[in-house]
Amino acid sequence: MRLKRKADLQEFRGYLRENRLNLTIERRAMLTVVALMGGWFTVGDFFKEARRRNAFHTRSTVHRNMPLFVEVGLVEERRAPNGRRLYKTVR
């Protein structure tokens, strides 16, 4: 599914504001990549797609920020049988 870009960006901004966090360049770029991901993906898959699209992030940035996307409801998180975290864009 694709994110409804403008509405989701506003919702994400509101969430960040409520939690006294900033909408950084990295978070904005991550939002764009999240919108493009299809199906279930790992942080590694996300990282590869971000690099492919020249939206460079460090793995630690992705690991630290993915829970924000989960909390705001833009991404769903599940555990694979091997214990790895899997993510899926929900909008």
Give the structural domain span for 32: 5-89
Q: How many other β-carbons are positioned within 10 Å of the β-carbon of residue 58?
A: 10
pTM for this prediction: 0.81
User: What percentage of the chain carries pLDDT values higher than 70?
Assistant: 90
Which has the minimum average pLDDT: 4-8, 33-37, 42-46?
4-8
* Average pLDDT estimate for 23-27: 90
Q: What is the dihedral sign for C-alpha 67, 69, 70, 71?
A: positive
Q: In total, how many domains does the chain have?
A: 1
Q: What is the Cα–Cα distance from 23 to 17, expressed in whole angstroms?
A: 8
Mean pLDDT for the stretch of residues 55-74? 88
Task: Give me the CATH number covering residue 66.
Answer: 1.10.10.10
SS3 14: helix
Can you give the pLDDT at residue 54? 84
Model confidence at 53, pLDDT cuts 50, 70, 90, reads confident
Task: For residue 5, give every residue at least 6 positions away whose Cβ sits within 8 Å of its Cβ, in sequence order, or none.
Answer: 35
